[in-house]
């Protein structure tokens, strides 16, 4: 199989490429990525020498380049990860989220339709469902009710993907996963930010009361789920992916501090995120019963391995936390470091 992976230099995309090349040594993976601040070819050093891996630098919103790439690659499938992915950045500056997540996805769908692509897997998020109260889970039937510019842009792209299936018969599947964690996670997101700040002796900024709940999924379990959907998912269907690991943010941060033998006083309660979703929790029973997906990682074990990975890959995250990252950090946290 020849697979074009968009956004393959990011966190989940690079983990997916490594997973697939290991599992299917006869497949060809073509990574099409713009290399924004979140794209990093260091994530792919292990596989860059392989003859069945290729990198093309390009923007999904560039219709001409997308069409040319699909035509020349003769791909059987597209797995579409490329996106602006960070909620806080979408609150600061939403424009790029609309351009990449909405317009870019549309350009890709259009090129896939013209090219007659046999599989189009769109990687979405549970955030399109909005926020839950204390009880209940998101199922595939939960109405879309996104709250942030990020989740609204992802929900818009989901609707375009579904419209291309309904109107043109494009063989699409949509996956909606909960919060991922694991190696090569960009340290703007909760878990890698907290681990790397802790390792640097910096304060750990927790938004609001820290009682917001996320449902954590190891990135390798996510890659295995996408593999199943790619091969056996039914066209036109949505599959939720979640690890049944609900934790409050405070529980996650306390677990990180405890594993690093650091005091709770390292936490800084800072002002809450605007429009902060209170709770996400995924019902993944469709993926389990239809496609036999079983997550491998218990959260505590996965978190311990992830902390160990950051401890042994200091050069990777120190390079990432340099330059433009510092500018972002200052904008996001600069005047927001004190207790509220
Ligand atoms: P990431 O920010 O780590 O990586 C995004 C990648 O897309 C980067 O390599 C970047 O260079 C590339 N990219 C951005 N704009 C592009 C463009 N215009 N053209 C081509 N490439 C472009 O993101 P991630 O965490 O790996 O997320 C991947 C996908 O999974 C996204 O679609 C995201 O919405 C979804 N998702 C992520 C999570 C999570 O917990 N990280 C959870 C649910 C869903
Ligand atoms: P994040 O990793 O940004 O993922 P998402 O917002 O897409 O779920 O944030 C996870 C949770 O952690 C979310 O409730 C916001 C919170 N958070 C903090 O408390 N402090 C931080 O510095 C960050 C980045 C997130």
Q: What is the pLDDT along the chain (340 residues), one digit of tens a residue?
A: 999 999 999 999 999 999 999 999 999 999 999 999 999 999 999 999 999 999 999 999 999 999 999 999 999 999 999 999 999 999 999 999 999 999 999 999 999 999 999 999 999 999 999 999 999 999 999 999 999 999 999 999 999 999 999 999 999 999 999 999 999 999 999 999 999 999 999 999 999 999 999 999 999 999 999 999 999 999 999 999 999 999 999 999 999 999 999 999 999 999 999 999 999 999 999 999 999 999 999 999 999 999 999 999 999 999 999 888 999 999 999 865 543 3
Q: 300 catalytic, yes or no?
A: no
CATH number of domain containing 114: 3.40.50.720
Among the options 33, 127, 221, 227, which is catalytic? Answer: 127
Residues with CB under 6 A from ligand 1: 6-7, 9-13, 33-36, 38-39, 59-61, 81-85, 100, 104, 123, 125, 154, 177, 179-180, 186
| Beta-bridge mates of residue 246 | 215
Give the closest residue to 56 by CA, choosing from 74, 35, 32: 32
Ligand 1 mean position, distance from CA 120 (Å): 16
- The total domain count for the chain is 1
Nearest bound ligand to the CA of residue 226? 1
In angstroms, the first-to-last Cα distance of the chain is 53
Q: Distance from CA of residue 84 to its chain's centroid?
A: 9
Q: 310 catalytic, yes or no?
A: no
Ligand 2, atom 6: closest residue by C-alpha: 87
Backbone torsion region of residue 190, taken as left when φ is above 0, otherwise alpha when ψ lies between -120 and 50, otherwise beta: alpha
Measured CA to CA, the distance from residue 178 to residue 283 in angstroms comes to 10
Burial class (CB in 10 A: 0-12, 13-18, 19+), 90: buried
The boundaries of the domain holding residue 312 are 2-270+279-336
This prediction has a pTM of 0.98
H/E run at residue 165: helix 149-168
Residues with CB under 6 A from ligand 2: 87, 179, 189-190, 193, 205-207, 212, 214, 249, 273
Report the 10 Å Cβ neighbour count for 163: 14
């Amino acid at each position: 199989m020849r697979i074009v992976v968009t956004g393959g230099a990011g966190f989940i995309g690079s983990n997916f490429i490594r997973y697939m090349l290991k599992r299917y040594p006869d497949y060809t993976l073509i990574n099409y990525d713009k290399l924004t601040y979140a794209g990093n070819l260091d994530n792919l050093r292990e596989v860059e020498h392989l003859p069945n891996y290729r990198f093309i630098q390009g923007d999904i919103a560039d219709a001409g380049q997308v069409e040319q790439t699909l035509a020349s690659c003769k791909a059987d499938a597209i797995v579409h990860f490329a996106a602006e992915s960070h909620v806080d950045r979408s609150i600061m500056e939403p424009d790029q989220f609309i351009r990449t997540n909405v317009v870019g996805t549309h350009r890709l769908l259009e090129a896939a339709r013209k090219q007659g692509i046999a599989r189009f897997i769109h990687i979405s998020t549970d955030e399109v469902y909005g926020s839950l109260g204390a009880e209940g889970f998101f199922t595939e039937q939960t109405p879309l009710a996104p709250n942030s510019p990020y989740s609204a842009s992802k929900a818009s792209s989901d609707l375009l993907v579904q419209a291309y299936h309904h109107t043109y018969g494009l063989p699409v599947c949509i996956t909606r996963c909960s919060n991922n964690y694991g190696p090569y996670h960009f340290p703007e997101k909760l878990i890698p930010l907290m681990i790397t700040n802790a390792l640097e002796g910096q304060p750990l900024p927790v938004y609001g009361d820290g009682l917001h709940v996320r449902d954590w999924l190891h990135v390798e379990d996510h890659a295995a789920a996408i593999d199943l959907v790619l091969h056996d998912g039914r066209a036109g269907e949505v599959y939720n992916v979640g690890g049944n690991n609900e934790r409050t943010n405070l529980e996650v941060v306390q677990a990180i501090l405890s594993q690093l033998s650091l005091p709770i006083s390292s936490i800084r309660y800072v002002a809450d995120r605007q429009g902060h979703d209170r709770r996400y929790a995924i019902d993944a029973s469709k993926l389990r019963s239809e496609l036999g997906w079983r997550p491998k990682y218990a959260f505590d074990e996965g978190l311990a391995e992830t902390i160990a990975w950051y401890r042994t890959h200091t050069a990777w995250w120190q390079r990432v936390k340099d330059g433009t990252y510092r500018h972002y950090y200052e904008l996001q946290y600069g005047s927001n470091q004190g207790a509220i």
